């Protein structure tokens, strides 16, 4: 492999922006500084553009195995690298669900040689796999996903004794989907009485209510405090839940985690709000629901104030046809990986926070939180997962969507930044116009 020398870049890393060159050798960052080309180098002139560590998405649904008609690891990881995301952690609500070590290893085998981004797969919890959960190899998975609210797939864990056992005994971080299912079912029944199956999409945040989120998140925190569990609560969607989490940096000066309980929000909660259901309907139907403008503002502030630790996508593609069904049958979830980083950078253009904060929440924090080995930072010796960003506006068009479902909730939206290049393990994976090279994604390693 030849060395790649990226010159005249504006590096954004660990809270700083600075001008430097960066050399890639054997897939890793060999040097950062003022560097001269050597014979045989591939030289890339960044011409002052920003160079970031590749984003690490700690929440995606790539649908494999079992729902490859919607998405698969090859197509969605291509969309991810086009969007500047170089690692992903995939959810267990596949078919079959990932409930034991064999199902987990099957996913890694499927990803080998096909994933364009680095990958980790979560184990899932059910009401009856506590033995498999206790036996998890901490180096084999980023964490255990617990659906404390029912969503796509049939993975609700609602047995109190099982939940208590999971929070007591799980040897890896627990990540939760928090929405109270009985409350949601009761609301849904009321709306069904009024509208039948054809409930207006705008009712979604009232059916999957803020109260349902708050109650379930409280329960997760209670269990975690009882057992001193490492808990990461996914996709926080309401202002109200923010008061339940501790503000402050994720790590201390030595890079050790300061928090036992952490929180994530997702890109769609920053870019959409209740008024958008009228225009986008089921395209933005997801669980938990996109709520009010005031929630969106509070979540943006919570990222700036370090109440929220991680930014992710919850990329959850469904086909266009599926999304056209009446409310009760239209599945929840939206494709996001390809435009997630540029959407986050739009928050920077709007003045909510700076690029270094996007990097902290979308690259550094997931690496720290899940003990990801040698990724998530621009550091000598680390893997060369890199993204070059330029401030050239573009408008999202359906024909450019790389996700298998072939649509995006951002169609027609203009962003002020675009992804000029993405490297995965030193291999150019996206050249600003197309996917390039072999599928260079590797299995993520967890330094535990």
What's the rounded Cα separation, in Å, for the pair 104 and 394? 39
Closest CB to ligand DOR among residues 49, 70: 70
Closer to ligand DOR by Cβ: residue 22 or 284 = 284
User: Considering beta carbons, is residue 238 or 421 the nearer one to ligand DOR?
Assistant: 238
Beta-sheet pairing, 394-395 with 427-430: unpaired
Residue 323 to residues 206, 208, 340, 417: CA-CA distances in angstroms?
Answer: 19, 18, 20, 29
**Segment near ligand DOR (CB under 6 A); pick from 51-59, 136-144, 258-266, 325-333:** 325-333
Structure tokens at 356: 């270094």
Residues 56-75 that bind ligand DOR (CB under 6 A): 61
Q: How far apart are CA 337 and CA 238, in angstroms?
A: 22
Beta strand extents in 34-182 (DSSP E only): 42-45, 50-53, 55-60, 85-90, 118-121, 123-124, 144-147, 174-177
Minimum CB separation from ligand DOR for residue 332, in Å?
Answer: 3
Q: Which is nearer to ligand DOR, 97 or 331 (CB)?
A: 331
**Cβ distance 138 to 123 under 8 Å?**
no
Is residue 196 within 8 Å of residue 188, measured between CB atoms? Answer: no
Closest CA to 137 of 121, 114, 159, 117: 121
Strands 427-430 and 386-390: unpaired
- Asked whether position 287 contacts ligand DOR by CB under 6 A, the answer is yes
Assess 286 for contact with ligand DOR (CB under 6 A). yes
Least distance from C-beta 18 to ligand DOR, angstroms? 39
Neighbours of 212 (CB within 10 A): 25
The least distance separating ligand DOR from the CB of residue 118, rounded to whole angstroms, comes to 21
Residue number, 126 or 421, with CB nearest to ligand DOR: 126
Does position 129 interact with ligand DOR (CB under 6 A)? The reply is no
- Pairing mode of beta strands 50-53, 414-415: unpaired
Residue 199: both structure tokens together? 């409930």
* Residues 166 to 195 in contact with ligand DOR, rule: CB under 6 A: 177
Residues 81-110 that bind ligand DOR (CB under 6 A): 93
Task: Give min distance, CB of 379 to ligand DOR, in A.
Answer: 33
Shortest Cβ 136–ligand DOR spacing (Å) = 21
Q: Is residue 422 involved in binding ligand DOR (CB under 6 A)?
A: no
H or E stretch covering 18: strand 16-25
Q: Which is nearer to ligand DOR, 63 or 352 (CB)?
A: 63
Q: Quick one: 27 or 406, whose CB is closer to ligand DOR?
A: 406
Nearest residue (beta carbon) to ligand DOR: 333
Q: Does 368 bind ligand DOR (CB under 6 A)?
A: no
Report the distance separating Cα 343 and Cα 55, nearest Å: 13
* Residue of the chain from 170, 332, 355, 422 that contacts ligand DOR (CB under 6 A): 332
Task: Tell me whether residue 120 or residue 333 sits nearer to ligand DOR (CB atom).
Answer: 333
Give dist(CA 265, CA 231) in Å, integer: 14
Out of 333, 366, 376, 426, the only residue in the binding site for ligand DOR (CB under 6 A) is: 333
**Residue ranges that bind ligand DOR, judged by CB under 6 A:** 61, 93, 151-152, 177, 286-287, 316, 331-333
């Amino acid at each position: 492999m030849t060395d790649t020398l990226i010159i005249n870049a504006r590096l954004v890393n660990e809270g700083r922006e600075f001008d430097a060159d960066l050399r890639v050798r054997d897939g890793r960052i060999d040097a950062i500084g003022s560097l001269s080309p050597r014979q045989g180098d591939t030289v890339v002139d960044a011409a002052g553009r920003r160079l970031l560590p590749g984003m690490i998405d700690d929440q995606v649904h790539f649908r494999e195995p079992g729902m490859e008609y919607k998405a698969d690891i090859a197509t969605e990881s291509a969309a991810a690298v086009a969007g500047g995301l170089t690692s992903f952690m995939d959810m267990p609500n596949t078919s079959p669900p990932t409930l034991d070590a064999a199902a987990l290893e099957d996913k890694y085998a499927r990803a080998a040689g096909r994933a364009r981004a680095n990958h980790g797969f979560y184990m899932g919890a059910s009401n009856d796999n506590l033995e498999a959960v206790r036996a998890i190899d901490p180096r084999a998975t980023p964490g255990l996903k617990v659906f404390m609210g029912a969503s796509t797939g049939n993975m609700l864990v609602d047995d109190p004794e099982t939940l208590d056992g999971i929070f007591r005994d799980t040897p890896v971080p627990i990540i939760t989907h928090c929405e109270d299912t009985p409350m949601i079912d009761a609301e849904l029944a009321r709306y069904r009485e009024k509208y039948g199956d054809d409930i207006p999409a705008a009712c979604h945040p009232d059916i999957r209510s803020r109260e349902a989120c708050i109650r379930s998140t409280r329960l997760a925190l209670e269990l975690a405090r009882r057992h001193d569990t490492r808990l990461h609560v996914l996709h926080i969607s309401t202002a109200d839940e923010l008061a339940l989490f501790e503000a402050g940096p994720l790590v201390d000066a030595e890079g050790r985690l300061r928090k036992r309980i952490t929180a994530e929000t997702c890109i769609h909660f920053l870019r959409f709000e209740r008024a958008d259901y009228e225009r986008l309907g089921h395209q933005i139907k997801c669980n938990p629901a996109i709520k009010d403008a005031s929630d969106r503002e509070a979540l943006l502030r919570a990222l700036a104030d370090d109440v929220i630790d991680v930014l992710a996508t919850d990329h959850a593609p469904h086909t266009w046809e599926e999304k056209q069904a009446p409310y009760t049958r239209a599945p929840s979830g939206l494709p996001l990986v390809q435009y997630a980083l540029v959407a986050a950078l739009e928050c920077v253009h709007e003045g909510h926070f700076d690029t270094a904060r996007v990097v902290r929440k979308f690259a550094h924090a997931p690496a720290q939180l899940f003990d990801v080995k040698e990724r998530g930072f621009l550091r000598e010796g680390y893997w060369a997962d890199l993204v070059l960003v330029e401030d050239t506006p573009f408008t999202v068009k359906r024909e450019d969507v790389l996700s298998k479902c072939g649509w995006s909730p951002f169609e027609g939206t203009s962003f002020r930044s675009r992804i000029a290049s993405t490297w995965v393990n030193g291999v150019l994976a996206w050249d600003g116009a197309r996917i390039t090279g072999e599928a260079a994604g590797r299995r993520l390693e967890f330094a535990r």
